Chains A and B, each alone.
Chain A
């Protein structure tokens, strides 16, 4: 699993590649907490190459929901494939995190 983060023009983009299981979920946790520490307010997550996410990975996203809301951070996930999206849907996370098909829509959401 590979996670990279880039500060772009107005947004902070985290790119996830591969599978997030119990062990790699720690890296995801680190990536998000670093973004928050740096004071990023507009976070985009590129899920194009994300193949699978386990409950541990989902838990990481969820654990930050409150923080995002408290600190006014806007986050949007984009380019997610159907398989992974259905996991988010079944869990009912689509109402809590914005998941959109394209990057443009994601940028609009966090703007």
Chain B
């Protein structure tokens, strides 16, 4: 050993600069972020090192015949190669140890690295390997190095195959490392080397660290091979979770969510088969999805559960051994040995049931069941979301339809005409927010006769509005023919019987006013009785009549009676639809015809419009509701 300050400085600077170079090189290299790539790198470094050594050694020994000079060259060369190799390993290992960084690990590593580098300076001091100073220095360092070496978390991220490869690489690298080290050690024993790695505390420290690390890594990889399948399974479950999450985005149908859920649960539980049944609020089955088991077997299992009085509760139920149940005649107990029964819950509400079957007894473990329950709750949320979305869209669509229908309907109802100063006409509608079926129309013919109609198409919503439109068309066509009310209704009935659906009908009041003769013709096709005020008396006019669209194929005219009345100045005729008299209060009482008559009598002195308003107010006050439930229309004819 040459104890020469200049020599030492040269060696130290060489070591320091090499290590710094490798630190930068490996630090910057992007490809090293992959574990497998790092390990391959170490392997390549080792291979390159040993091959170069063998090449140079054989060249020198063969060609130069083991002269002292050649030995010195060899010594120098081996020193350099060894340093490169060790530096490469050191920093590769650093990257592996720091693969999953925590603050603590980083701080400890920094301390370790600095301490180790500080040990370069020990070559300036002469000390024995078994002196106290040496021990004081190396012991803590060894402990720190060992602690860091056990940070083999990176091994968990490899799958089984990758672990085998890593194992092979590390074992070979270990072999190469040992080979190099033994060669150096031999030389150390045989001849005094000028450049002796073994006498360099720094290199020994690094070598020890690298050796320790590779050994620990090999052991960890070896012992984690049996459990790597569990890790892979866990990763697999996370992947399934992601897949389930993606497949239950908004826009997926519920059926697709069911499929994804069932698949995930079966995969996760490694089930032989299973099914998912969705039920509605009444317990009826709305959908059935099966995987790995056919309908018939599933049906037989359901019967089995029922016969064994196993009901679906809000908790998972687990049958460890299917053979323990009775009534097993139709069950294939070789294929299905244990059963897991889970409710699909959304809050308190049960959306459906999942059943999983496995071909081993007692085959469902707690982790598996927990995992499946997590899948189920995620799917339940997605299903609820999907349903809410669906409902929201439906409501929106319906509202739009109604809006359009209402617009159409408003255009179908005519303005109140002013035909003559002798006849005052007023109309007031208080439709429900829904689109209704109340219809009224007016017509004055060439002879001066005025026809007024008020009717009510059965039903609500858009179909009522469309039926109203058809009615208007028929009225407008027929009214030009100057028919008397009974003929009018007869033709109208035939036409409507062909236009309307089987269960749709129309009630109608037809009033034909002859201003010349001052007579009224009244025909009542199933509509509410009109109220006639004359001579200080208000009475409902009764007449026989059946609604339009009710009698199809028979002689309709025989069902209608036409009443003819003379009218005088001051007489009033009040027409209305059933929304007025059927307004009900919270006791279930109806407003009724009597109340209507009384209100009319009390306020008959008011102007036409005010009178109608008043009647409306009274019905609202009676029912206590702001909006009437059914269509309410009032039509007043006042003869002046």
List A residues at the B interface (Cβ < 8 Å). 22, 29, 55-56, 58-60, 62-63, 65-66, 83, 90-93, 95-96
Q: B529 near A: Cβ within 8 Å? A: yes
User: Of B504, B552, B553, B590, which one neighbours A59 at CB under 8 angstroms?
Assistant: B504
Chain B residue at minimum C-beta to C-beta distance from A94: B546
A-B contact pairs, 6 of them (CB 8 A): A59-B504, A63-B503, A66-B553, A90-B526, A91-B547, A93-B546
Query: Is there contact, CB below 8 Å, between A96 and B546?
Result: yes
Q: B409 near A: Cβ within 8 Å? A: no
In the complex, A96 Cα to B559 Cα: how many Å? 10
Please encode chain B, from 484 to 523, with 1 for each CB lying within 8 Å of some chain A CB and 0 for all others.
0000000000000000011111010000000000000000
Query: Is there contact, CB below 8 Å, between B550 and A96?
Result: yes
In the complex, A60 Cα to B547 Cα: how many Å? 14
In the complex, A65 Cα to B549 Cα: how many Å? 11
B539 to chain A, nearest CB (A): 16
Residues of B within 8 A of A29 (CB): 503
Query: Is there contact, CB below 8 Å, between A95 and B458?
Result: no
Decide yes or no: A92 and B547 within 8 Å by CB, A62-B503, A63-B502 being known contacts.
yes
Return the 7 tightest CB-CB contacts between A and B, nearest first.
A92-B546, A59-B503, A55-B458, A63-B503, A63-B502, A91-B526, A92-B526
Residues of A within 8 A of B546 (CB): 91-93, 95-96
Q: B460 near A: Cβ within 8 Å? A: yes
In the complex, A59 Cα to B546 Cα: how many Å? 13
Query: Is there contact, CB below 8 Å, between A92 and B545?
Result: yes
In the complex, A59 Cα to B502 Cα: how many Å? 8
B503 to chain A, nearest CB (A): 3
Query: Is there contact, CB below 8 Å, between B528 and A62?
Result: no
In the complex, A13 Cα to B562 Cα: how many Å? 38
Chain A residue at minimum C-beta to C-beta distance from B551: A96
A108 to chain B, nearest CB (A): 24
Chain A residue at minimum C-beta to C-beta distance from B460: A22
A67 to chain B, nearest CB (A): 9
User: Of A22, A58, A66, A95, which one neighbours B505 at CB under 8 angstroms?
Assistant: A58
Q: Is the contact region of chain A dominated by helix, strand, or loop, or is it mixed? A: helix
Residues of A within 8 A of B545 (CB): 92
Chain B residue at minimum C-beta to C-beta distance from A55: B458
B30 to chain A, nearest CB (A): 68
In the complex, A83 Cα to B459 Cα: how many Å? 20
Chain A residue at minimum C-beta to C-beta distance from B456: A55
User: Of B458, B460, B502, B544, which one neighbours A92 at CB under 8 angstroms?
Assistant: B544
User: Of A56, A62, A83, A90, which one neighbours B550 at CB under 8 angstroms?
Assistant: A62
Decide yes or no: A65 and B550 within 8 Å by CB, A59-B504, A59-B505, A91-B526 being known contacts.
yes
Residues of A within 8 A of B550 (CB): 62, 65, 91-93, 96
Residues of B within 8 A of A95 (CB): 546, 559
Residues of A within 8 A of B456 (CB): 55
Residues of A within 8 A of B460 (CB): 22
6 A-B pairs besides A59-B505, A66-B553, A90-B528 with CB distance below 8 A are: A55-B456, A59-B459, A65-B550, A92-B546, A93-B546, A93-B547
Query: Is there contact, CB below 8 Å, between A22 and B503?
Result: no
Query: Is there contact, CB below 8 Å, between B559 and A92?
Result: yes
In the complex, A66 Cα to B550 Cα: how many Å? 10
Query: Is there contact, CB below 8 Å, between A56 and B458?
Result: yes
A68 to chain B, nearest CB (A): 12
Residues of A within 8 A of B544 (CB): 92
In the complex, A65 Cα to B554 Cα: how many Å? 11
In the complex, A60 Cα to B502 Cα: how many Å? 8
Query: Is there contact, CB below 8 Å, between A55 and B459?
Result: yes
Q: Which residues 516-544 in B have Cβ within 8 Å of A in the complex?
A: 525-529, 544
Chain B residue at minimum C-beta to C-beta distance from A60: B503
Residues of A within 8 A of B503 (CB): 29, 56, 59-60, 62-63
A18 to chain B, nearest CB (A): 13
Residues of B within 8 A of A56 (CB): 458-459, 503
Query: Is there contact, CB below 8 Å, between A66 and B559?
Result: no
In the complex, A91 Cα to B460 Cα: how many Å? 18
Decide yes or no: A58 and B529 within 8 Å by CB, A63-B502, A92-B544 being known contacts.
no
In the complex, A96 Cα to B527 Cα: how many Å? 16
In the complex, A60 Cα to B503 Cα: how many Å? 5
In the complex, A11 Cα to B505 Cα: how many Å? 29
Residues of B within 8 A of A90 (CB): 507, 526-529
Residues of B within 8 A of A65 (CB): 550-552
Residues of B within 8 A of A22 (CB): 459-460
Residues of A within 8 A of B458 (CB): 55-56, 58-59
Chain A residue at minimum C-beta to C-beta distance from B545: A92
In the complex, A23 Cα to B270 Cα: how many Å? 46
A47 to chain B, nearest CB (A): 18
B69 to chain A, nearest CB (A): 109
Decide yes or no: A62 and B505 within 8 Å by CB, A90-B528, A91-B550, A93-B550 being known contacts.
yes
Residues of A within 8 A of B549 (CB): 62
In the complex, A93 Cα to B507 Cα: how many Å? 12
Residues of A within 8 A of B529 (CB): 90
Chain B residue at minimum C-beta to C-beta distance from A83: B590
In the complex, A32 Cα to B516 Cα: how many Å? 52
Residues of B within 8 A of A62 (CB): 502-503, 505, 549-550
In the complex, A95 Cα to B460 Cα: how many Å? 26
Q: Which residue, B502, B503, B525, B546, has most C-beta atoms of chain A within 10 A?
A: B503
In the complex, A56 Cα to B457 Cα: how many Å? 10
Residues of A within 8 A of B501 (CB): 63
In the complex, A101 Cα to B459 Cα: how many Å? 29
Residues of B within 8 A of A83 (CB): 590
Query: Is there contact, CB below 8 Å, between B551 and A91?
Result: no
Chain A residue at minimum C-beta to C-beta distance from B561: A92
B431 to chain A, nearest CB (A): 15
In the complex, A83 Cα to B592 Cα: how many Å? 10
